[in-house]
Amino acid sequence: MRHAWQLPVKSDVGIFLALVVLSVSIMAVDRLDEDSSLTGRLAAVFVPFESLSFRLMELSFVQKENHILRAKLMDVSRENAVLREEMGEAERLRGLVDFRTSHPGTLCCARVIGEPGERMGGGIVIDKGRAEGLAKNMTVISPDGLVGRIIKVGEGASQVKRIIDPGYRVSALIQRNRATGILGTRSDGRIVMEWVAPDADVVAGDVVTSSGLGSITPKGIPVGKVGRIKEKPERFSLALEVRPFTDFSRLEEVFVILREPPDFQLLLEAEEEAKVEN
């Protein structure tokens, strides 16, 4: 049985010859036409097919390129995160170096290495201890302000009670008008300055610093800013809520002021001796 395409022999030779003549004509025109305008005209007809085949060719390359670019993007994102982290650290360390330079010989830089939790006494643990000359009750600060004081000293680490830890107390004053008071931390973490004279001229935003009374915390260390102000008629004083300057949620490095707080017992004995001598 003959297929629809399969024509009688004579016809197929005829078709073949016709196609050959057509092909030779194309070749002749192409040879005569130096500018190859024939090819150009044919190309215009096949542009859609050409673009389709070109797209097919491109598809696999684009896919491969896409994979490579995705991988590169992931690398760059990772690298970016690392660089951001390093940039932040560099900025912090630059601040610390500046701070350290302005207090030569009196500060010891330490890194925060833990937060022991309430059961273990709260506060933070730093990576410096007795070996570096640290002692109990030494004041711990950050470039922003007061952090707290050392409550336990080990050979290579120390525990620091922060001003946001409940029960922390330090005498303080309002920088603008020198009004004094006692700064204490409540169980909910709020820092409140009490025993401030009720007639003291205090406004929200006033800077609170350590007063130096009590001899444990040196005078003039910034603590925070006054927030809400409450009057406490029953105690004849104002209660000022203080917002600390130090951001405790991002505390990574601190300074310990290398100055032994005075031993009151020795001071009393010295006074006694002086009296006896007189």
Partner 1 sequence: MRRFSLWLLVVLALIFQVTIFRKIELWGMRPDATVIILVYMGLGLGSVAGALFGFLLGLANLAILSTSMASMPLAGTVVGFVVGRYATKVMYESYLVQLVIIFVSVLVFDAVNLAWADLSGLPVSLLRYSLGSAVYTSVAGVTLAIVIERIIGLRLVSQR
Place of tokens 């760059």: 76
Which residue in the set 10, 35, 56, 105 belongs to the binding site for partner 1 (CB under 8 A)? Answer: 56
Binding flag, residue 31, partner 1 (CB under 8 A): yes
Interface pick for partner 1 out of 34, 35, 37, 57 (rule CB under 8 A): 57
CA distances from 251 to 70, 221, 246 (A): 36, 17, 8
Instruction: Work out how close the CB of 69 gets to partner 1 at its nearest, in angstroms, rounded to a whole number.
Output: 20
Query: Counting contacts by CB under 8 A, is residue 68 touching partner 1?
Result: no
Whichever of 52 and 203 has its CB closer to partner 1, that residue is: 52
Residue appearing with tokens 């922003």: 144
Which span (17-25, 145-153, 198-206, 241-249) binds partner 1, by CB under 8 A?
17-25
The residue from 37, 43, 115, 270 that contacts partner 1 (CB under 8 A) is 43
Residue 80 lies near partner 1 (rule: CB under 8 A): no
d(CA 240, CA 229): 5
According to the binding rule CB under 8 A, does residue 27 interact with partner 1?
Answer: yes
Segment lying near partner 1 (by CB under 8 A), choices 3-11, 132-140, 183-191, 222-230: 3-11
DSSP 8-state symbol, 99: H
User: Can residue 66 be called a binding residue for partner 1 (CB under 8 A)?
Assistant: no
| Of positions 37, 53, 66, 80, contacts partner 1 by CB under 8 A | 53
Among 37, 39, 80, 106, contact with partner 1 (rule: CB under 8 A) = 39
- 27-31-37-43 Cα dihedral, nearest 10 degrees: 40
Q: Binding of partner 1 at residue 22 (CB under 8 A)?
A: yes
Alpha-carbon distance of 122 to 100, in angstroms, equals 27
Q: Rounded to 5 degrees, what are φ and ψ at 178?
A: 60, 20
- CB neighbour list of residue 253: distance below 8 Å, 6 or more residues apart: 92, 93, 96, 109, 110, 111, 112, 142
Strand partners, 153: 158
Site size toward partner 1 (CB under 8 A) is 30
